[in-house]
Structures are given as C-alpha cells and as structure tokens.
Structure 1
C-alpha cells in the first residue's frame, strides 16, 4: 500500500434505465425482471388516479378525454380550435412503428379480412325470409352424416357474389360438429385431408372443447331446415383472389347457407390460412372458427345486430376461447404501434397519426362501422377493447344478456343488459382507454381484466396485455367528434379550458395520475449457479411504485457479475456483495441497499439469455415451472409422425437449472449451435449429428440439412428462410401430447446451457506491510482495509499463477493454480 498525499475522488455512477413494473412471468423458468426507469415508459398505472369533471377552474389532469355522449353515429360536435390549449407533440423518442400484420405461416404484407357484414347485407336484400331461421323455427327433418359421407353444398363465390356447387366429404364427426372438405383434389381447393390427414380431428377437438363456453357466453344457434344440432364446418380455399399479399378471407358465416343448404355452416379457409409455401398448421384457424360461430349464434338470436356490435361480440369470442389471442394483436392495431423488442417496456403514450389512422383517434363513433376505412384494423381494435371492457365490468355472460335484450337498438340493449345507460358506459370505456387503472382504483370502473387462463409465456412474457395500451394523444388543432366518440388531449400546464367555439354538448374528463414516492427498498440474498443466471430480487414499497431508476454493482466480479438489468451471472464459487442505488424520481432521493450473492458449483444445464457457438444447450418451453417437469426437444420422433421433435422429460430445479442425471440420455436432447446472430444458427444434435430442420412438409424435424434459425432471447426461433414462421413449444393431440412445431402459437423457447463444476483454487493474500492496512479473502476476491492515509496501489502474484485486477479497495484474482497475492 502507498501513502495518500492528496487526491480528489469523483464517483460516477452510470444508471441503467429498466422498467420497474417488469412483466416477466414469475412462476416459470424465466427469472423476474429487475425494475427499470419509468419516465418514458409505463405499464398499467399502479397508483391512484383522479378524475376531474368539474368545469370550475378548468379540467385538470395529465390528459383530458373529450367525449360526445350522443348515441347516434351521425351526431357530431365540434371541439372548437384548441391551438395553445393542448400539447401538439409527444416525446420525440416515441415513434409509431410501421404496420406489420404478419401471422405465423402467412407471408408478410398479408392480413385476414372479415366479410360477414357485407355477405349478410347481401342476404338481407336477396332473401325475404332473412332472420326467420331462428331456434325453434326448424323443420322436423334432421340429416345426420358419417365419416366418408359426401354432400354437394351450394357455396358463394365471394368475388362474383354468385353461387356454385361443390361436393364435399365428411372427414370427422365431433360431438358438436362435422368437418367437411372438397372431394376434388384440384389445386384450387386445397382439401384439408390433402394438407394433413390429422387436421380434421384437430379441428373437431378444438370446436368441441369451446362449444359449451360459446353457448354460455353467446347463446344457442339455429339448425336450419335440416340440421341435427351440429355445426357443419367446411374447410376449403375461399377464393377471394389472394395472390401472395394483401387481404385474404380467413373464414365467414353467411345466412344464405341456411337457406341454400338448410344447415348451420361455417366456411373456413385453407389457403393461406392452413397451408402456404409448404408450411401447414391449423393454429391460424381456431380464432376464425369461434369468431364465425359467434356470427352464426348472433344471427340466430338477433338476426340484425349492428355490425360494430356483432364484430365486438366475435372479438369477445376469440378472447374468451383463446385468451390473449385477440386483445394482444388488437391493442397494437388500435394504438397503431407494433411491438418488437419492447414488449416489456411499452411507451407511456402514443401520438395520433392522421395518415395511418385518420378516423379512429379523431373522434370516430363507437356506433359506426365501415370495412372501407383506412384504419379499419384500428376499428377492430376498438371493438375488441370494448368487448373486454364489458367482460371486465360484468363477466362473460354479459354478451348473451345484452343479446337477449336486443330488438332493434344496440344502445337500448346495452342499457337494459348492463343496468348502466349506454352513453355513460361508453364514456367510462373512453376514460378507461386513457386511465387504464390498476385493480381496486376508482371501484374498478376504469380497469381491464384479463381472461382466465391467459398465459404470458405465449405472448412474449407480457404479464398483463393491457400494459400495451396507453393514451393516444390528439395533437391537431380541432375536430368533430361523432356520437360515442372521443379524443384524448394533453392540456398545456395540466389544465384545459374549452375554447369558445366548442359545442356545449361535449363532456370533459380530466385524468391525473397520482405519483407516489418510495417508502422503503430492500434486496434479498440470492443464490446462482456458476455459469447460470438469475435476477436481483429488489423490493420497492409501496407495492406497484413505478417512477424510479436502479443502478446495480457487483463488489465481487470474480464470483458474480451483474448487468444493467439486474441479471446476475455466476462466475466462480463463493459469496460477495451486490449493491443497488435506487433513485426515487418523485421525491428526488436515493436508497442504497445491498445483499449477499452466493455462487454455487453445478453440473448440468442452466438458464441463459444468449447463444454461444459451440456450447451445448437444451431447448425447453418457457412454461416449464421450477420444481416440475419440463420437456426438452429431443432428436427422436413421435411414433407415426416422423417430422416432430420428441420431447424428453427433465426436472427444472431452483435457479432455473436442470441437474445432470445419468438416467437421462442427455445427448439425445442436447443441441450445439453454429453460425452467428445476424444470419442465424444451425442446431446440431449431440446424439445423432442431425439438425433442427424442415422436412418436405416444412414441419420441424431432425434433419440432415443445417437450417439456420434466428433466436430472439427467451422467445422463439425464427427460420431464416423466406416467409417461414417460428419454432415454439405447443400442446398437441392425444397421440402427440407435446411437440415442437413451426408456429408462434404456443409457449416461447428458453435455452439452458451446459456447465460443469468450476475448478477452485486457494487464494492467499498478504499485505506488503501490516501497518499500512489489512487484507481478507473470500473466494477469489481480496478485500483491503487501508490504514488512515493509505490506499491500494497495486497487487502482485508472489506464488502460483493467476491474473489480478485492482478496483479501489477490491482485488479480483483469476487463478489457474493455488496462489498467493501481495497487496
């Protein structure tokens, strides 16, 4: 040690900014995310919210919702000129992303179209008995069919609006459905059994599993003149002229089928919905199936419900049956922002885009509908959100309850069905889109609830899909708001006084987010496997406090390191101190906390967040829970299905690890990557030297071809060839209970890297003079305590072999043998 003569110390901390209310699923193999900065990002606001509807002194709030309470889409009220009253821009760092409506298996620049409203308008014009095919009006003739039965159906050509006939064969009979496909193998029809003989059974199983849920939520369906109670689902190429890009029809219901065929029917597309470019999967059809079944039920019970409400109900059907499948996509459509790497760090607000969304966020009516709108996808988002708002307030039976009250007016049906006037309910919904409160705030009037069985692992580990929703700020000068419509503005200096030209019929609601300061912070002691990762366990009170930043520091980098996000990596056996500085942005104060991190030797596989060429990995579904069975993708196949990766059961233990077990053939489930992050990795199996590849049907399988896959951390493999989709973990049918398939529908993928016990060496430390200070050793870290007036100048290895580094009063040793270090 050396005598300190004179020195000025300037300590500079680089604060890593990460979201405080991180959305990682905490009960899966994925560790909790650490808190991050919240100035430019927000999730569902965790604190209190104050609403101001009192005009005295102006309407106060971070935002003001301006709402037209009229219940007619044709009634418009002007805001007047708002120049100088509202902010005309939002944070420059928030830029609306380009629209990307790609679905798994469907090429880019393609999206599903819904033509039910158009078809039923045609049916009303052409059929004088439209609406008479309601439950109870069926004839006594009941036709039943068996597998192998054939029937000629009258279909509608959606391009010409003319009918034609086509023979179908019954492929499967379920408890509540028949599955039909064309007998013709012409290239234009894409019969379901020609794509995959097992798909008919999958379709029937899905429909049967959702039947009771659909009936309890929406009601019963008509059976037509000769139906026996089961739904007839026709799978064929709905030829709308799709040629590889643009909109395609995923399916439809039309009342004309009841008169033309006498049966309750759903038409489901097979090209490109089931197959495209060699890829095939039923996953894209299930939402369509329940969406269209709702349209059939709706027609059966109301015959003439307004298009916006009918589409609202079908969006509800998707979300009820497949939680997350509708709302995650539709929120992005509604806000006109498509997430990529920022799923867990969403923007706190979005700016009105007059080019891509010229209608919806400029006061478009709640009660209007047009498929011709430029922003029709945002319109679908609006009704999907309203559907889930109704569920959040009243439960899933509310749709059937409102339908039962429907005669000719949707607003009257909503009022009678909910007990809240339609104008007030829609106002509350408009405020909820901005306030988006946490549970328990303002009597949950402005709170969105997720459907039961929503699985974050299937949706980029977003714990609450409504965290993707944020205020859409109108930044124009004025607009006319239609009945049931609203805009959200940011008032200058937090107070809005309507201009003289504003309609007196408009309603104003100020929305103010109450920011709470931190009362206490702590760090829990934690353990990590050497070579593995875990997350710092930071506790901030009051629970849900979001407005703070965190900086982490490891005082024992030879034992463990910590990154900006609080991810701890074990380096060598031993214990050391982790420190965190938490800055409260509300009170402008700092909290300094610390804990002990213990790194343990381990033999097996540990969770990792990166790919290293040449290392060994297991591929495991994200939903595997610590302490239970997970399924690692193996190199063998499921009996009878040569193109699936056969899963092998392993046990996930603490700190997200899989211990080595001699009873398991780990070579069969171990994969070694080659390649790079930009072009993708080929994954070679240790047991048979084959790769994760694609067979002739483009289904994932052990292959001799080294297909390249891009890996998005803890999410999916994306095949880096053309338009192919993703490799994710999914549940299969009874004979294939678990499998890995080319579809993003299913659990994300986690990688577990192979590690062996770290060889440990004994490190001894001595001071060059005990009167200058003392030293102590923990593992490979030497802690120095200089006497008054001294500091640590250097350290040297005086026996054995090692490298050393000095950082203040800490000396980190990287030994390659037992060694002694003099400070």
Structure 2
C-alpha cells in the first residue's frame, strides 16, 4: 500500500506539471497586447491598486527603516490554505550521528606511527590524519585518519579508515571513482566562471574528504581554516590541514546515504554532485580572501578581529550566493530537489509541493518564515529559505547577465567591502546587472521569484531562462510551482529589503491611513487566457 500511495502522489505531481507547463507554453506563444498577457501589473495609486494580489515592498535599502502596512483587518482575505508536509523523513535526525565522535579515533595513532607521507605523494592507498569537525564546542576540531581511494585530474578522494565514520568505499566500491570523474568534469566550468583555488600543495588537486559529518543537517562544508598550517582559536594555537579541502557528508538528511520515515536506507552518489560544486565555489572564495593579509591575520593570530567580524554576515551572504550559482548552472535539478520545496517549508519535498498545488491555487505564508512576512530578504541567517532565496537571485542574475555576471559582482563587492557606509553585497549584484537604483532591482527580483512571468511586461519579471537546448528539464518544472506565499494577519512590519503579499478583498486595495509612508505597492491581476 505504501508503494501505491507513493506512485499515486507522483502521478498527481506529473499531471500537475504537464498542466502548468502547457499553460506556460501557451502564455509564451501568445502575442503580448492589452488584456492578453498572463499578468497585468498596476503601479498607480489612482482609484486604488487593482489586482488579485498586492505586493508591498520596502525598497529603502540598506539605510531605511522598518515600515508598517497599517491595519489590514477587513481589507484582505484570510482563508488561504497552508502547505501540508508529508511524513517522509526519519523522525529523529540524531540517528545520523556517530558515537565515534565521543572518543578519539584509534586509527590516527597507527597512521602517525607509520610516518605519514608528505604532500605531492598522496596516491591511492596513501594515509593521512586530518582535522575535521570544527564546531563551537570543539573549535580546534578532531583528528581523524583518512586514506586515498581515487585520484582524478583535478581532485583526490579521501575517506576514513575507521568504519564508524561511514567510509565511502563501504557504501559502494565504485563511488570514489565516480565522484572523482564528476568533479573533474565540472572543474573547468566552475573555475572559468568563478576563479581558481589556492593550490597550496602545488599538485593541482582539491582534496575531497567523504565521511559522516556529525551534524545530520550538513551535506557538505568548507572550512577557511583548512588553508592554514595553524590557526588561533579563542586565543589558543591549533594545528590545521594546510591543504585545499572540501568535506562531503556520507550519512545524513542530505547525505549520500539517507534514512526515510520507514527506517529504510537508500544511497546514491549523485546526491553529492551539486554539493561538491557548491562547496568548491566556497573554496575558491576563501582562496581569493586568503590573498588579503588582514584576512590571513585573523585566522592565524586573531588579529583584525573587528574588521573580520563586522563583515562576517556580508561575506557569508556573498559566498552562499555564488555557491548557489555554481550549483544551479551545472545541476538545475537542484531547484526541484531542494530550493523550491524549501522555500515553502524546511521539511517539504517536491511531492509535497505538487500535492498542494494539485488541490489549491494558492498557499499561505509559512508562519515560521519571517522572510515571507517582511524580514529583509538580503540578510543571511543560514535557514533553508535563505538558501532558496540566494539561489533564486542567482537564477535572476544569470537570466539577465549571463555567467560573467557572477565574477563581475564579486569584483565590485571586493572593491566595496572596506568602504565606509557598510555597503551590502547584494548592491554589488544589482550594480553588476546595470541597475541604477536599488528600488527597481528589488521590485524586479521580488516579482520575478513570486510570479516567474516571461510573457508579460516584455519578460521583465522572468526567472526561468531557456538555454535553447530543447530540454528545459526539471528546473522549469520546479519554477512553475513558485507561487506567492500570502500573509493573512492584521498587520505586517516590513524591513528594508523586505516584502509581503496579500489578497485584497474585492480586487482593489487602498492603503489604510495607518500605513506608513515609503512603502511601494504593485497590484497583480491573473488574466484568463484561451
């Protein structure tokens, strides 16, 4: 019965996608004209803002203030369906944690006693102790013994000797070479678009460590500390790895091996392919920052802390935006697997979203996502909706500026970060796209990921970009399911760089006298097309 239910849900999802894609294709083939475009936009306050939806924006970024919509009771519709998330994951994520982290790895002493090989001699079978698991409770990390399983043209695949850390070769003997082949295949594109990595070992190889990362939520991680011989943590000197390195999870919620709600295991090496590219961009970003002596001084001796810490959120936002771009350019299916479902709920999957929109035309804003309720969308907090938004922005930027826009944005940001006034990295993205004022950028981006409309307003609010290969694939399927999350409360307070969406009663909205000045309104009408 479980198989039948799953097959039914997938059938509903596929049928819904066919309907949505057909309507999208019909819209794209319709010649634009009065009353024939899929969406009509009302920017004028005269006679009220008309539309099925009202988008309210606070575009006074970054130096403005939080603004209230005023009281919305009896002005907006409140009966909006909430997305239901299926029971599709293991009940307790802690099941992914290894007890091995509670003790020292016994294999490290054996490797050390065997006189570990130095750089440039790490061939298949070579063994080395590396520092991993740098956490807030253990900032110095933990030493684990690794061995080389495969060496590619641009990478080296390592996995633990200790079976308690879920080594890659114990999952499948072929996985190491498959991972190396995939990394090699993507390396030329990633380095061309985003730059090269810091080749400390002078062998042209990135070291990929595959093991059970202790946090069950982390699919991969890149530590800036890995590039240094030693780092200072809380005033204490600690050894580090002095090698370009990426860490990939073998067992976890988003790992190579996963456990479902029925406690059944599945494994697939392709799950980590987008993660490798995402993390490789992080390594490239850290390689660029390594050239800044003040940045190195922070990691090596904790000097210049105020400079580094005051800009930490901005640095994180920019590198996550670029890593999202690196992944979507090569693996557009990640919109389907991660970014669209996570935009609605951190625990949702694609089938949940398909199931909802097969029954409902609209979705309520997530009560746990303040980013859908007025929080600035250009702030990094590390939540699932933050990852979705930087991916949507990467797609928005690529659609308008091509692949070169990402390096251009980085160069602008690199020149802005130390200037007074605390500029934000998203301003560099807007400038790279040619926007002269942030309000226009903010409006275009928000309306693009809320409505993804290529046929109205000359394609101004498009998100999907057809590369002309005749196979739009899973990205277009996923983006067709982007709908505006609708608020239903009595008031919204919108931060600078934030927005909200609601449905006005009667299709016309006149802001109440309690609304604060400085907000921007757009009415959107969904037209019936033959």
TM over 0.5: yes
Partner of 1:171 in structure 2?
A: 149
> Per the alignment, do residues 154 and 352 of structure 1 end up closer, same or farther by CA in structure 2, a change over 3 Å counting?
closer
Q: CA deviation at 1:343?
A: 8.3
Partner of 2:387 in structure 1?
A: 380
* Higher share in helix: 2
Bigger Rg over Cα: 1
1:37-94 deviations in whole A, cap 9, x for unaligned?
A: x9xxx9996643222222222211111110011223883111111222222223xxx4
8 Å CA contact 1:266–1:292 kept in 2: the answer is yes
Partner of 2:131 in structure 1?
A: 154
> Per the alignment, do residues 54 and 35 of structure 1 end up closer, same or farther by CA in structure 2, a change over 3 Å counting?
closer
Whole-angstrom CA distance in 2 between matches of 1:447 and 1:63: 18
1:398-417 deviations in whole A, cap 9, x for unaligned?
A: 22221121131314312331
Whole-angstrom CA distance in 2 between matches of 1:500 and 1:289: 52
> Per the alignment, do residues 347 and 456 of structure 1 end up closer, same or farther by CA in structure 2, a change over 3 Å counting?
farther
**Structure 2 counterpart of 1:398, from 381, 405, 410:** 405
Partner of 1:515 in structure 2?
A: 528
Whole-angstrom CA distance in 2 between matches of 1:20 and 1:254: 40
**Structure 2 counterpart of 1:269, from 249, 273, 292:** 249
Q: Normalised by the size of structure 2, how large is the TM-score?
A: 0.73
Q: CA deviation at 1:344?
A: 8.2
1:331-365 deviations in whole A, cap 9, x for unaligned?
A: 122133653564884743211232x43x1211111
Q: CA deviation at 1:476?
A: 0.8
**Greater relative CO, 1 or 2 (CA 8 Å, sep 6+):** 2
**Structure 1 counterpart of 2:52, from 57, 62, 65:** 62
Secondary structure of 1:166's aligned partner: strand
Q: Normalised by the size of structure 1, how large is the TM-score?
A: 0.48
**Structure 1 counterpart of 2:191, from 215, 227, 235:** 215
8 Å CA contact 2:336–2:477 kept in 1: the answer is no
Whole-angstrom CA distance in 2 between matches of 1:210 and 1:378: 26
**Structure 1 counterpart of 2:213, from 213, 231, 238:** 238
1:653-693 deviations in whole A, cap 9, x for unaligned?
A: xxxxxxxxxxxxxxxxxxxxxxxxxxxxxxxxxxxxxxxxx
Partner of 2:441 in structure 1?
A: 425
Whole-angstrom CA distance in 2 between matches of 1:207 and 1:479: 45
1:273-326 deviations in whole A, cap 9, x for unaligned?
A: 234566433122112211211211222235765323332322222222212223
Whole-angstrom CA distance in 1 between matches of 2:412 and 2:515: 36
Q: Where do residues 336-375 of structure 1 align in structure 2 (5 Å cutoff)?
A: 336=345, 338=349, 339-340=351-352, 342=355, 345=358, 347-354=360-367, 356-357=368-369, 359-371=370-382
Partner of 1:527 in structure 2?
A: none
> Per the alignment, do residues 249 and 347 of structure 1 end up closer, same or farther by CA in structure 2, a change over 3 Å counting?
same
Whole-angstrom CA distance in 2 between matches of 1:111 and 1:386: 33
Q: CA deviation at 1:147?
A: 1.8
Q: CA deviation at 1:419?
A: 0.9
Whole-angstrom CA distance in 2 between matches of 1:109 and 1:389: 36
Whole-angstrom CA distance in 1 between matches of 2:144 and 2:83: 46
Whole-angstrom CA distance in 2 between matches of 1:317 and 1:111: 30
8 Å CA contact 1:414–1:422 kept in 2: the answer is no
1:142-164 deviations in whole A, cap 9, x for unaligned?
A: 73532222222233343522323
Secondary structure of 1:169's aligned partner: strand
Partner of 2:452 in structure 1?
A: 436
**Structure 1 counterpart of 2:66, from 56, 59, 76:** 76
Whole-angstrom CA distance in 1 between matches of 2:21 and 2:518: 44
Whole-angstrom CA distance in 2 between matches of 1:386 and 1:327: 16
Whole-angstrom CA distance in 1 between matches of 2:177 and 2:513: 65
Q: CA deviation at 1:444?
A: 1.5
**Structure 2 counterpart of 1:466, from 474, 479, 485:** 479
In structure 1, the gaps of 5 or more residues are 1-17, 25-32, 114-140, 241-246, 517-544, 546-823
Whole-angstrom CA distance in 1 between matches of 2:64 and 2:159: 44
8 Å CA contact 1:315–1:326 kept in 2: the answer is no
**Structure 2 counterpart of 1:88, from 75, 78, 91:** 78
Segment drifting more, 258-267 vs 422-431: 422-431
Secondary structure of 1:162's aligned partner: coil
Q: CA deviation at 1:383?
A: 2.2
8 Å CA contact 1:64–1:511 kept in 2: the answer is yes
Q: CA deviation at 1:203?
A: 0.5
Partner of 1:771 in structure 2?
A: none
1:725-764 deviations in whole A, cap 9, x for unaligned?
A: xxxxxxxxxxxxxxxxxxxxxxxxxxxxxxxxxxxxxxxx
Find out whether 1:311 has 2:320 as its counterpart.
yes
Find out whether 1:284 has 2:265 as its counterpart.
no
> Per the alignment, do residues 97 and 112 of structure 1 end up closer, same or farther by CA in structure 2, a change over 3 Å counting?
farther
Count how many residue pairs are aligned between Structure 1 and Structure 2. Answer: 435
RMSD: 3.4
8 Å CA contact 2:156–2:207 kept in 1: the answer is yes
> Per the alignment, do residues 188 and 422 of structure 1 end up closer, same or farther by CA in structure 2, a change over 3 Å counting?
farther
**Structure 1 counterpart of 2:504, from 491, 506, 510:** 491
Secondary structure of 2:441's aligned partner: helix
8 Å CA contact 1:473–1:489 kept in 2: the answer is yes
In structure 2, the gaps of 5 or more residues are 1-11, 29-36, 97-117, 229-239, 259-263, 291-311, 418-423
8 Å CA contact 1:192–1:200 kept in 2: the answer is yes
Partner of 2:234 in structure 1?
A: none
Whole-angstrom CA distance in 2 between matches of 1:111 and 1:318: 27
Whole-angstrom CA distance in 1 between matches of 2:185 and 2:250: 21
8 Å CA contact 1:170–1:179 kept in 2: the answer is yes
> Per the alignment, do residues 58 and 275 of structure 1 end up closer, same or farther by CA in structure 2, a change over 3 Å counting?
closer
Partner of 1:297 in structure 2?
A: 284
Q: CA deviation at 1:381?
A: 2.1
Whole-angstrom CA distance in 1 between matches of 2:284 and 2:92: 32
> Per the alignment, do residues 308 and 331 of structure 1 end up closer, same or farther by CA in structure 2, a change over 3 Å counting?
same
Q: CA deviation at 1:202?
A: 0.5
**Structure 1 counterpart of 2:173, from 177, 191, 197:** 197
8 Å CA contact 2:464–2:476 kept in 1: the answer is no
Whole-angstrom CA distance in 2 between matches of 1:43 and 1:329: 24
Q: CA deviation at 1:494?
A: 1.5
Secondary structure of 2:146's aligned partner: strand
